[in-house]
Amino acid sequence: MVVTPLDHTADVGFRMEAESLEALFQAALKGLLQVMFLNPPQGGRRRKRVVLEAEDLETLLVRYLNELIYLIQTQGFVPGRARVRVEPQEGGYRLQATLFGEPWQEEFGFQGEVKSATFHGLSVSQEKGRWQAQVILDV
């Protein structure tokens, strides 16, 4: 799994590459944490389940990231890792994730608020057996 920051004039973005769709969504969590924290947790004792549905993978990725942003900034739950399953279903896709995290702590080194994941410059694709995505965050 690879997460690479993107240069963007007003916002923050990153590219991801992974061997599976599930690993791509795990990389999305890692990328978000790299934007938000200097020292994010690597796992955690607490768990939260997330179930999301969307008509396509791009929308599912945006919904997933926005749910993570909500949990972090509103609920004070910082997931350090995720176990993710993405399955096609009639009319789109379904994501089920178990998030492992910790309550918000100063030592995580918060770097600033993220308003949301956006559809600007968004892409999710599979090439030569590997999944790739790009996302821009509104900060």
- For residue 71, CA distances in Å to 48, 50, 82, 125, 130 come to 9, 10, 13, 27, 29
Range of the domain at 9: 2-138
CB 51 within 8 A of CB 67: no
Number of domains observed in the structure of the chain:
1
Residue 113 is part of a domain; what is its CATH number?
Answer: 3.55.10.10
Encode the chain (139 residues) as per-residue pLDDT tens digits: 767 665 555 688 899 999 999 999 999 999 999 999 999 999 999 999 999 999 999 999 999 999 999 999 999 999 999 999 999 999 999 999 999 999 999 999 999 999 999 999 999 999 999 999 999 999 8
Q: What pTM does this model have? A: 0.92
